[in-house]
Structure 1
Amino acid sequence: MVRFALALVLALCPVLVHGQGEYPPVRQGAVLQFPRDHGSHPQFRSEWWYITGWLQAAGGRELGVQITFFRNRPRVAEDVQSRFAPRQLLFAHAALADPLAAGLLHDQRAARAGLGLAQAEEGRTEVAIEDWSLRQTGSGYAAEVAARDFSYRLRFDAKQTVLLQGERGFSRKGPNPAQASYYYSLPHLAVTGSVVIGGRELEVAGEAWLDHEWSSEVLAEEAVGWDWIGINLADGGALMAFRVRARDGASFWAGGALRGADGRVRSFKPGEVRFEPLRRWRSPRTGTEYPVSVRVQAGALTLEIEPLMEDQELDARASTGTVYWEGAVRARAGEKEAGRGYLELTGYWKPLRL
């Protein structure tokens, strides 16, 4: 998602009980510390862990995979002592993009933390809702999902160092400095494991991207949604770029970062990032039109983004109350494939009301 996936939670998690609890601000100049900051930050309003990637099975069959866990701290009265008080809420979205299937395979979960149903641990990545989980291992992560129409058990091994987004992890989301998050990525995760589709188990391998972000602030009132890409470049580099859209469709804010194959990182200012729609797709279920093919300019780099398949709409109304497009894409520079990753499009179904 910039990964604004956390805002999907904010849109459906209003104040549940009036109280005086305050959320800590995101401060410019704060230093992220690892491994501590791989874990949950329960005092902040919202947080998410997000992995997307491309998988390949025997015979060259290509799949896209997504697993996202969201944590939300609703504002409740501090003196409520009931063990059933919803002090932490967890949500999860999982999906497989399979061109052989009739649309995106996806599922969702929601639960309050504790009670043996869900958890988000501090100090390390360990988030789970019942039998769905994402856990940090010695050299990466492991994910397990058992959904209605599919399941997977995947391992993600880190081959590169953490990529701090924005200003050393302080990522602006608007002209007001308070509209910011702490945000880092881990590109080029090596993926191995198995996927079950239609009762058939497939051994898979591939490459993925992880984002982890937490914040206490919401988007500006003028913002209605965003476009975001995370691309593992073929030369070993990585590109994240996003734009926040205003009500008239123009860019309200933008940013991103490019890590070159040599490891050097360049961060982009709002005026250096542009998303230009090339082709649109209309959902037969919601009637929503999405720009599923776009030209992205980030500084001197220009990429044309094409989806693995057009129908990658995820209906999450049963958990976070929104519908968005989250899809596996190829990135081309001229006639050459320059990388693969994911494109996220939110606020096209309905403007986010935060």
Structure 2
Amino acid sequence: MSANAKISRRAFATGLAVLGFGRRTSLAQNFAGLGGDASGFASVIPGRSFEFPYDHGPHPDYRIEWWYLTANLKDSAGQALGVQWTLFRQAIQPGPQREGWANQQVWMGHAAVTRADTHLYSEAFARGGVGQAGVEAAPFHGWIDSWQMRGIDRMSAMNVAPLEVNASSAEFSYALRLEADRALVLQGEAGYSAKSERGQASYYYSQPHFTAAGTVTIDGKPVNVTGQAWMDREWSSQPLASDQTGWDWFSLHLETGEKLMLYRLRQAQGQPYLTGNWTGLDGRSVALASRSIDMIPTVTTEVADRMLPTSWRIVVRDRALTIETVPLNPKSWMGTRFSYWEGPVSFTGTHHGVGYLEMTGY
């Protein structure tokens, strides 16, 4: 083994240790130390002007960032499926970017497929600076190993479409084409998404208008699928306060064509922090007042030796919305190094539709 190889492996192992990759743990506080001190990293402040396609690419001055896709699909027989494709970037040290194995970026990819009777997931890790993982803004291309999210056919920077997305493991694979006829939306207040009343925040935008078509293969059996998809983009250096223990997040496609994003940030003491955005048929995203939102667990399920709230009653009084959500598969546990629950849901009530639920910190 060469000296360079020894340095490379040691550098990679050090990066994993800094992030806690040597043990399975909860995503919320432990991945990237989301509630820890962010000295030396860039700060999230209100009033930022977003630039596209530039902001589709990485922001290495910030500590944590993700490109997050979920899709609610059906096969030709009408069976519901869910798909997840996620790429995380984590800076283990602030400062100018170094070359090669000295680069301070670590990448993590998660992929999953979900049916009512199964939930399969896979993960990948890569060190930055060596080409194994990364994101390029223009032409847009995100990857980790062979998993790809790529702009095609003169992709529109404002629509983030069309895209091709694929991932595979020993148990499953998928390949989807995503189209969107409307522009992305800025979440929070013009893209500034507050996470607490003490100043924690992220920059956050979404493309909730994707239509999806392609194939999903489980245990060697491919099926054609169509449906809707949602991509979230967030970056920050300290998105949580030190006493926040995790979050419950919904992205919901209403049958009317409107979109709803909600999340509840749980705190060790006191009431959770609630916020969200409503995207109308005109494509305009409007922040929702916390006082108008209720997110109430109604059913808990034992998953991975813990109790999780897998069904919810959601109320948005400003929009006259009251719905009950149910999971496609209540056992949609991502038993990855940073474990969490992520899976498709459907809902009924004053409005009907489908979406995704993510829960961390349990």
Please, what TM-score do these two structures have when normalized by structure 2? 0.84
- The match for 1:43 is 61
- Report the CA distance between 1:200 and its aligned residue: 1.2
Question: Counterpart amino acid of 1:61?
Answer: Q
Distance 1:136 1:308, change over 3 A: same
- The match for 1:91 is 108
- The match for 2:273 is 253
- The match for 2:334 is 314
User: Secondary structure at the residue paired with 1:84?
Assistant: helix
- 1:1-29 Cα distance to aligned partner (Å, 9 max, x none): xxxxxx938724469xxxx9821111201
2:136 & 2:251 partners in 1: Cα distance? 26
Q: In the alignment, which of 265, 268, 271 is matched to residue 288 of structure 2?
A: 268
Structure 2 residue 359 is the aligned partner of structure 1 residue 345: yes
- The match for 2:86 is 68
Given that residues 63 and 94 in structure 2 are in contact (C-alpha distance below 8 angstroms), is that contact kept between their aligned partners in structure 1?
no
1:12 & 1:278 partners in 2: Cα distance? 28
How many aligned positions are there?
325
- Superposition pairs for residues 64-143 of structure 1, below 5 Å? 64-75=82-93, 83-101=100-118, 104-123=119-138, 125-137=140-152, 138=155, 139-143=161-165
User: Secondary structure at the residue paired with 2:291?
Assistant: helix
Structure 1 unaligned spans of 5+: 1-6, 349-354
Question: Counterpart amino acid of 1:328?
Answer: P
- The match for 1:168 is 190
Q: In the alignment, which of 247, 269, 276 is matched to residue 226 of structure 1?
A: 247
- 1:96-136 Cα distance to aligned partner (Å, 9 max, x none): 111233xx110101111232311222455422111112123
User: Secondary structure at the residue paired with 2:287?
Assistant: strand
User: Secondary structure at the residue paired with 2:102?
Assistant: coil
Question: Counterpart amino acid of 2:115?
Answer: D
- The match for 1:26 is 44
- 1:289-314 Cα distance to aligned partner (Å, 9 max, x none): 11110011223322211111211111
Given that residues 110 and 121 in structure 2 are in contact (C-alpha distance below 8 angstroms), is that contact kept between their aligned partners in structure 1?
yes
Deviates more, 1:83-92 or 1:339-348: 83-92
Distance 1:251 1:133, change over 3 A: farther
Given that residues 277 and 294 in structure 1 are in contact (C-alpha distance below 8 angstroms), is that contact kept between their aligned partners in structure 2?
yes
- The match for 1:328 is 344
Structure 2 residue 175 is the aligned partner of structure 1 residue 156: no
Structure 2 unaligned spans of 5+: 1-25, 156-160
Given that residues 113 and 120 in structure 1 are in contact (C-alpha distance below 8 angstroms), is that contact kept between their aligned partners in structure 2?
no
User: Secondary structure at the residue paired with 1:59?
Assistant: coil
- 1:167-196 Cα distance to aligned partner (Å, 9 max, x none): 10010011122x111101111311011111
User: Secondary structure at the residue paired with 1:60?
Assistant: coil
- The match for 2:206 is 185
Distance 1:288 1:346, change over 3 A: same
Question: Counterpart amino acid of 1:34?
Answer: F
Distance 1:10 1:41, change over 3 A: farther
- Report the CA distance between 1:41 and its aligned residue: 1.3
Please identify which structure carries the higher helix content: 2
Given that residues 29 and 245 in structure 2 are in contact (C-alpha distance below 8 angstroms), is that contact kept between their aligned partners in structure 1?
no
Given that residues 187 and 285 in structure 2 are in contact (C-alpha distance below 8 angstroms), is that contact kept between their aligned partners in structure 1?
no
Please, what TM-score do these two structures have when normalized by structure 1? 0.86
Given that residues 37 and 124 in structure 1 are in contact (C-alpha distance below 8 angstroms), is that contact kept between their aligned partners in structure 2?
no
